[in-house]
């Protein structure tokens, strides 16, 4: 049994196969083979969601599976049942479990105690499904053949990540860049520099510390093939909103800043975007912006991930 808790849980060769399958699922759309027919997968969400919930639910449906929506508020978890006992019970009913939560340790406890595959649909530490959708989107653009998504097309490309460079998306990009041979330069306030958690993820995966950090946004973006940013105030950080908005203003992605990147650079954002904060409306609407391709590809790459993890139907 295999889980998908972080970017490096699939090897380079497995990522290549996932991308091939995602490209085929994208071509087939609603005619994707029912590889998960008669399976039921739980979707346990501690946090609100738009893209994650809809893309997983639609993906499960297109693979022939049934999605069981769960929230902590209407489960015995809210009355003190342990995560371990809940994981053991759900394993008797379900074929897999998709979890979106705050603490990464919660996800790991479910994976450890249960006997079914667990998929990370976002934690405060990492967001690997979004990251795979991002990489797949870039591989589509950079692969020579139409309909192809060659993971090798990513090697040597430069990504600039701006803003909160200690957030879950920054951690995921740091790990993914080392995993795929990409260059990554991050820029943000010194207080939001990449954390020890990112270094620990690299160490656990036996990967080198290849990322660079600077407080100079232009230095990070110069010559980049991709400029990436995320919201400055994530769910759970609302009390710090005023301070964060003030500190991160120099890292807003504007057309002027994009001009420092490579001529054919792409702008990416995992959404929801806040125009006028981390990115200008002009950049969001520009031809460099591929944010909705990223959003769509959540569906296709997650179908490939689910198909890879699925065992024999119950």
HSE-up of residue 167 (Cα within 13 Å, Cβ side): 25
Catalytic residue flag (residue 274): no
Could you confirm whether 157 is annotated as catalytic? no
CA distance 174 to 159: 10
DSSP state of 8: G
Indicate the SS3 state at residue 138: helix
Contact 131, 4 (CB under 8 A): no
Binding site annotation covers 134?
no
50 known member of a binding site = yes
Tell me whether residue 134 is one of the annotated catalytic residues.
Answer: no
Catalytic residue selected from 230, 247, 300, 302:
230
Q: Is 100 annotated as a binding residue?
A: yes
> Does 51 appear as a known binding residue?
yes
Pairing of strands 266-269, 226-229: parallel
Check the annotation: does 314 bind a ligand.
no
76 is in an annotated binding site: yes
Q: Quick one: CA torsion of 2, 51, 294, 67, rounded to 10 degrees?
A: 40
Catalytic member of 3, 53, 104, 127:
127
Whether residue 167 is annotated as binding a ligand: the answer is no
Residue 129 counted as an annotated binding residue: yes
Give 236-284 as a DSSP string.
T-GGGHHHHHHHHGGG-B-HHHHTTS-TT-EEEE-S---BTTTB-HHHH
Among the options 3, 100, 179, 269, which is catalytic? 100
Report the relative pairing of strands 66-71 and 96-100 from DSSP bridges. unpaired
| Residue 128 annotated as binding site | yes
Q: How many CB atoms lie within 10 A of CB 65?
A: 24
Long-range contacts of 140-143 (CB under 8 A, 24+ apart): 140/23, 140/293, 140/297, 141/266, 141/290
Residue tagged active-site, from 39, 269, 270, 300: 270
Q: Is 235 annotated as a binding residue?
A: yes
Backbone CA torsion sign across 248, 249, 255, 260: negative
Q: Does residue 302 have an active-site annotation? A: no
Does 101 count as an annotated binding residue?
Answer: no
* 115 annotated as a binding-site residue: no
168 labelled binding-site residue: yes
Which among 157, 244, 298, 300 is annotated as catalytic? 298
130, 247, 277, 302: the catalytic one is 130
Transcribe 178-218 into DSSP letters.
Answer: HHHT-EEEEE--GGGSPPHHHHHHHHHTT-----EEES-HH
Binding residue positions: 49-52, 76, 100, 127-130, 168, 230, 234-235, 270-271, 298
Binding residue positions for carbamoyl phosphate: 49-52, 76, 100, 127-130, 270-271, 298
Which of the residues are catalytic? Answer: 100, 127, 130, 230, 270, 298
Binding residue positions for L-ornithine: 168, 230, 234-235
């Amino acid at each position: 049994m295999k889980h998908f808790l972080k970017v490096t849980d699939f090897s380079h060769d497995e990522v290549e196969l996932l991308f091939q399958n995602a490209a085929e699922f994208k071509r087939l759309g609603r005619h994707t083979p029912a590889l998960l027919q008669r399976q039921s997968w739980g979707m346990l969400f501690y946090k609100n969601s738009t893209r994650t919930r809809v893309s997983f639910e639609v993906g499960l449906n297109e693979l022939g599976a049934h999605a069981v929506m769960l929230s902590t508020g209407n489960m015995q978890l809210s009355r003190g049942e342990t995560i371990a006992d809940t994981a053991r019970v759900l394993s008797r009913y379900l074929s897999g479990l998709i979890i979106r939560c705050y603490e990464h340790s919660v996800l790991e406890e479910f994976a450890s105690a249960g006997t079914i595959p667990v998929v990370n649909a976002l934690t405060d530490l990492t967001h690997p499904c979004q990251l795979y959708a991002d990489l797949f989107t870039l591989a589509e653009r950079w692969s020579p053949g139409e309909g192809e998504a060659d993971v090798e097309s990513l090697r040597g490309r430069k990504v600039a990540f701006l803003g909160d460079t200690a957030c879950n998306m920054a951690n995921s990009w740091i790990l993914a860049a080392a995993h795929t041979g990409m260059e990554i330069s991050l820029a943000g306030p010194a207080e939001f520099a990449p954390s020890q958690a990112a270094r620990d993820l690299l160490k656990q995966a036996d990967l080198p510390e290849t990322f660079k950090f600077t407080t100079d946004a232009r230095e990070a973006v110069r010559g980049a093939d991709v400029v990436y940013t995320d919201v400055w105030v994530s769910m759970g950080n609302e009390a710090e909103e005023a301070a964060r908005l003030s500190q991160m203003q120099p890292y807003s992605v504007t057309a002027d800043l994009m001009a420092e990147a490579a001529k054919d650079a792409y702008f990416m954002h995992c959404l929801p975007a806040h125009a006028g904060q981390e990115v200008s409306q002009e950049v969001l609407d520009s031809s460099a912006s591929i944010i909705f391709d990223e959003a769509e590809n959540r569906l296709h790459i997650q179908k490939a991930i689910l198909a890879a993890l699925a065992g024999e139907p119950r």
